[in-house]
């Protein structure tokens, strides 16, 4: 895969403001189109030149329909990643990069948009709450992830303070991001601890909430990045999949408290990117709930496991610009807005291209972690041109 490293890049980023679920006056298709047009404006690109479309998480907005609305000259690539919820978020970027790298397309838009009016409630869990769950009163993803997180706390010895740090970091960053749903709503220890329990050990602020919004990025070959405006966010590597004993095995996963990023997948990501955990300057960590985000950082070697995680995963260490590992710098799913993680893609690229509300000075390596504790997991590493 050495030829793939650095061969493709994000050259445009676009997003809409995140609105409270059910409040948007626009359809999800209109929001997607708005996000893609903003990505084209960011890149200085003609929307009609886009020839590929890729999404994930059962997006109802088919690439061909979006292409028709944009009036593109030709559609050469249209795909969607299987695997529920945010597990496919980085995989969609990887698929777009593969399409461009292989010559199947020249400019691929990776997008996701939802509104409650179009997708209903809990669009992230459709098709993944089978009878073995519902017969035992498990009806929502929070309950599934809560069981795994409780195991992580009790058996693995990870302190609950790590979860609070993830939530507070997202809210801290959202206060500088006017597009975030939590903008103007700061969170502190007392408010976090005093919030109601959703599914033990999760409090209210451990949980993300679906929002009406969309985001998109444009992926092209790096050698063509000069045709577009701004600094390219180069794609160093990407992985996706599920290890043995994972996927749709309904509570038989091994190891149970992992986020699902198994050792072979993690090693492949670092090897293909030519970097390691210590090289990561900033990370966007998918937090459907805070527990899986903590498990992800442990899986990738960003944080030590067990009790030592509590010493590393602190609010001070997770915030920009001074933290050792700033995460979710636009607010993340929890505080910016939950659109199956597409906002994390945009922010991961912004940390390289510029435009983040909470920039990390001199960031060269930006990590995107998708879909923890989902049937499919994925990840992408973006780098500055200096890393290639």
d(CA 90, CA 110): 10
* pLDDT tens, residue by residue, 279-296: 999 999 999 999 999 999
> Alpha helix (H) ranges present in the chain?
28-43, 63-70, 89-101, 116-119, 131-134, 141-154, 161-174, 189-194, 263-273, 290-299, 309-312, 332-335, 342-353
The model's pLDDT over 37-56, given as tens digits with 9 standing for 90+, comes to 999 999 999 999 999 999 99
Burial class of residue 204 in the structure, from the number of CB atoms within 10 Å of its CB (0-12 exposed, 13-18 middle, 19+ buried): middle
pLDDT computed for residue 123 by the predictor: 60
Q: How far apart are the first and last CA of the chain?
A: 14
Instruction: Write the CA distances from 320 to 28, 169, 263, 315, integer angstroms.
Output: 32, 9, 28, 10
Instruction: Please state whether the peptide bond connecting residue 255 to the residue before it is cis, i.e. omega within 30 degrees of 0.
Output: yes
Q: Rounded to the nearest 5°, which phi and psi values hold at 349?
A: -75, -35
Question: How many degrees, rounded to 5, is the angle at CA 143 between CA 141 and CA 147?
Answer: 120
Could you give the dihedral angle defined by the CA atoms of residues 371, 318, 342 and 366, in that order, rounded to the nearest 10 degrees?
Answer: -100
**Percentage above 90 pLDDT, the chain:** 83
What residues have CB less than 8 Å from 226, skipping those under 6 apart? none
Q: What is the DSSP letter of 119?
A: H
* Residue-level pLDDT at 137: 85
> Which tens digits make up the pLDDT trace of 92-106?
999 999 999 999 999
> Which segments in the chain show pLDDT lower than 50?
1
């Amino acid at each position: 895969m050495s030829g793939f490293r650095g061969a493709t890049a994000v050259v445009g980023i676009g997003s809409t403001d995140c609105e409270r679920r059910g409040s948007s006056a626009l359809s999800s298709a209109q929001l997607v189109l708005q996000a893609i047009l903003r990505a084209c404006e960011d890149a200085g690109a003609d929307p009609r030149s886009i020839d590929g479309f890729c999404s994930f998480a059962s997006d109802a907005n088919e690439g061909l329909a979006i292409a028709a609305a944009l009036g593109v000259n030709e559609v050469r690539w249209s795909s969607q990643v299987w695997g529920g919820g945010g597990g496919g978020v980085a995989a969609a970027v990887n698929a777009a990069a593969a399409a461009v790298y292989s010559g199947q397309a020249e400019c691929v838009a990776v997008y996701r948009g939802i509104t409650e009016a179009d997708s209903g409630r809990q669009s992230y869990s459709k098709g993944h709450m089978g009878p073995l769950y519902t017969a035992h009163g498990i009806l929502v993803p929070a309950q599934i992830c809560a069981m795994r997180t409780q195991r992580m706390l009790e058996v693995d010895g990870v302190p609950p303070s790590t979860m609070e740090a993830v939530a507070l970091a997202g809210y801290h960053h959202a206060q500088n991001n006017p597009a975030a749903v939590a903008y103007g709503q700061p969170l502190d220890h007392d408010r976090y601890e005093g919030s109601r329990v959703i599914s033990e050990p999760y409090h209210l602020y451990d949980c993300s909430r679906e929002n009406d919004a969309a985001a998109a990025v444009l992926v092209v070959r790096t050698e063509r990045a000069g045709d577009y405006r701004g600094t390219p966010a180069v794609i160093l590597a990407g992985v996706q999949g599920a290890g043995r004993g994972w996927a749709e095995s309904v509570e038989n996963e091994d190891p149970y408290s992992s986020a699902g990023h198994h050792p072979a997948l993690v090693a492949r990501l670092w090897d293909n990117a030519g970097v390691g955990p210590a090289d990561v300057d900033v990370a966007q960590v998918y937090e459907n709930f805070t527990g899986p985000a903590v498990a992800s950082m442990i899986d990738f070697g960003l944080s030590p496991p067990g009790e030592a995680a509590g010493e590393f995963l602190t609010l001070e260490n997770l915030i920009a610009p001074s933290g050792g590992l700033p995460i979710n710098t636009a607010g993340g799913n929890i505080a910016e807005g939950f659109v199956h993680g597409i906002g994390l893609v945009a922010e991961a690229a912004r940390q390289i291209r510029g435009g983040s509300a909470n920039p990390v000075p001199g960031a060269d390596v930006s990590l995107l972690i998708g879909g923890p504790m989902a049937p499919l997991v994925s990840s992408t590493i973006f780098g500055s041109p200096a890393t290639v």
